[in-house]
Amino acid sequence: MLPERPTAADLEAAYVRRGAQVAACDAARRLAVETLKAERDLIDAWAHGRKEAGPILPGD
């Protein structure tokens, strides 16, 4: 939040704060995407391994 009559220093501090928020959000988004991709890779590897192993339980 800026004061009623912001100075150049107030504006600069606001831009720096907002930049840090954007950087943190981008990092969190990147981590979420990497996690999702890794999870899907593990699921694909598991499914591929099950196909090669053949049926495990009756009805598989």
43 part of a folded domain:
yes
| 2 lies in some domain | no
pLDDT band at 60 (very low <50, low <70, confident <90, very high): low
Q: What is the pLDDT of residue 21?
A: 98
Entry pTM: 0.65
- Residues 17, 19, 20, 24: what is their CA dihedral angle, to the nearest 10 degrees? 140
Q: Is residue 35 part of a domain?
A: yes
Instruction: Name the average pLDDT for the chain.
Output: 91
pLDDT at residue 14 greater than cutoff 90: yes
4 part of a folded domain = no
Domain count, the chain: 1
Q: Is residue 33 part of a domain?
A: yes
Collapsing DSSP to helix, strand or coil, 60 comes out as coil
pLDDT tens, position by position, 32-57: 999 999 999 999 988 888 777 677 66
32 lies in which domain range?
10-47
